[in-house]
Chain A
Amino acid sequence: GENVEQHPSTLSVQEGDSAVIKCTYSDSASNYFPWYKQELGKRPQLIIDIRSNVGEKKDQRIAVTLNKTAKHFSLHITETQPEDSAVYFCAASGSGNTPLVFGKGTRLSVIA
């Protein structure tokens, strides 16, 4: 089955700096790679996702890159703000009825 590795487990950045979180996956059949932000006690919130037919996607301060050959994908947050502080999860899945498999998460702290 799919295995998703995520690094780093914790990340502290100064406000205004960029943050990068990296994930690798094992199943070459996976074709959907979302990123979630989760606040304490709440459900994961989708912040951006990428399909396997594109290499990069951007939405304002957030961007995701995908390298299918190397089986890794990354989340980039620019101009970080204190409200970006949260736990971020990457995930991977195939299509149809395949479940999402999550990475272990990254606790991001943005220091004002």
Chain B
Amino acid sequence: GAVVSQHPSRVICKSGTSVKIECRSLDFQATTMFWYRQFPKQSLMLMATSNEGSKATYEQGVEKDKFLINHASLTLSTLTVTSAHPEDSSFYICSARSPQGLELFFGEGSRLTVL
């Protein structure tokens, strides 16, 4: 199956700093990638849809100025959590659908801890 890789897997930062998470499709081109957030013991909640070459589409309640998404190439999307606060601590997972099918492939996830 297709491979999606995410980096870093874990990051700890101080409150007020920014953190960038990268998501790469390794063996296919992804014009669209999806970013999810998962708090402890909860489900995956869609944050935004990342579109190559254009602006991301954010879900209701997700601040676009706080969660900056850039999808500059067909294999890379980045999520930057700006001015992070402890309540932003969560598991962030990216995903992409290969051009051939309906299955969504997930990155390994990034656990963000904001102190």
Interface of chain B: mostly helix, strand, loop or mixed: strand
Enumerate A16-35 residues with CB–CB distance to B below 8 Å: 31-32, 34
Number of residues on chain B facing chain A (CB within 8 A): 22
A60 at the interface (CB under 8 A from B): no
List residues of chain A with CB within 8 A of the CB of B44. 44, 89, 102
CA distance A105 to B89 in the complex (A): 20
Q: Could you tell me if A44 and B106 are in contact, using CB atoms closer than 8 angstroms?
A: yes
List residues of chain A with CB within 8 A of the CB of B49. 97, 99
List residues of chain B with CB within 8 A of the CB of A105. 42-43
Number of contact residues on A: which range applies?
A: 20 to 34
A69 at the interface (CB under 8 A from B): no
List residues of chain B with CB within 8 A of the CB of A93. 102, 104
Please provide the 9 A-B residue pairs with the shortest distance between their CB atoms, ordered closest to farther.
A32-B102, A43-B106, A97-B32, A99-B34, A104-B43, A102-B43, A102-B44, A43-B109, A105-B43
Q: Show 30 residue pairs from A and B whose CB-CB distance is below 8 angstroms, ordered by the A residue.
A: A31-B102, A34-B103, A34-B104, A41-B91, A41-B111, A42-B108, A42-B109, A43-B93, A43-B107, A43-B109, A44-B44, A44-B93, A44-B106, A49-B102, A89-B44, A93-B102, A97-B31, A97-B32, A97-B97, A99-B34, A99-B46, A99-B49, A99-B104, A100-B34, A100-B46, A100-B104, A101-B46, A102-B44, A103-B43, A104-B43
